[in-house]
Amino acid sequence: MSDAAELDMTQYPQMLEIHGHQIAVRSGGEGPVLVFIHGMAGSSATWNAVLPSLAKQFTVVAPDLLGHGDSANPPLADYSLGAFASTVRDVLDALGHQRATVLGQSLGGGVAMQFAYQFPDRCERLVLLDSGGLGRDVAPLLRGLAFPGVEYLFPLVFTSAACQAGNTIAALLGKVGLRKTPQAEEMWRSYESLVDPARRAAFVRTLRSVISLGGQQVSAHDRLHTGEHIPTLIVWGGRDSIIPIEHGHAAHRALPHSRFEVFEDAGHYPHCEDPERFVHVVTEFVRSTPPAGVHDERHQPGQAAGSA
């Protein structure tokens, strides 16, 4: 792959029109298809450290979910896991890909599991990275953001002035050799995205579809057994303070044929904190496992339950 192709894939997403809405997608490479699904308040840019390397061996597809990144922020859209999974299906259709290995981080892990449930004939493998939807516990900050009415404080918290000040301080620290960690970079990128009112509104609706004051309110455990035939890799950061690693252990026990990789020194974003290892682990997993061969007439493309 040329340097220009890498730049286009990681920095300049193409725009697809899906059901009248613009969906931004980073894609490139050749070979088996890998589709990457980012987390809440994130974007496909979270995969920039790994996409170019993986695109040398695979076809990579990384969309911005509706209400995230460069995709549209429609006020009346469905921001549920099922709707996101259907959008991923529609993106694959638009790009001419029938089946894929589906990788999801945080919220994206929940979307990936929902995709495998809704469209089992489209999912060859699953990679769940510090995934949501596997237990009740979640960081107190996210539970607090789900509090009714808290969104009215967001314009005071997420401001352009604060972003400018933060970027100025980061630039000054960079001049003396002090740089944000990859995890801090991702969290700051999420903060910046919420300065936009339309994205904040989409964030609130997405958050409340999966998290309440009591924690995560969507669990895949009652349906994990339906995916026993799908090769599954579970990856977790040993220092994840947002979703505890115990959720990964529990999912691994529920899927005895799954693989479990712990990035001991990483937090919630192992793909950013140790991209070389992530590329190696994913490549080895895909190369060493046969794709699931499910065909279910109830889940034909375009006819799946919950499709949007």
Q: Which residues contact 3 (CB under 8 A, 6 or more apart)?
A: none
Q: Are the C-beta atoms of residues 79 and 22 closer than 8 Å to each other?
A: no
Under 8 Å CB-to-CB from 110, ≥6 apart: which residues?
81, 104, 131, 132, 133, 210, 218, 220
Concerning whether 53 is annotated as a catalytic residue, the answer is no
The single residue of 64, 240, 247, 258 carrying the catalytic annotation is 240
- Which of 106, 190, 193, 209 is labelled catalytic? 106
CA gap 25, 44 in Å, rounded:
7
**268 flagged as catalytic:** yes
Residue 308 is encoded by which pair of tokens? 């949007």
For the question of residue 160 being annotated catalytic, the response is no
Choosing from 68, 247, 268, 299, the catalytic residue is: 268
Residue 288's nearest CA partner among 263, 245, 259 is 259
Residues that are catalytic: 106, 240, 268
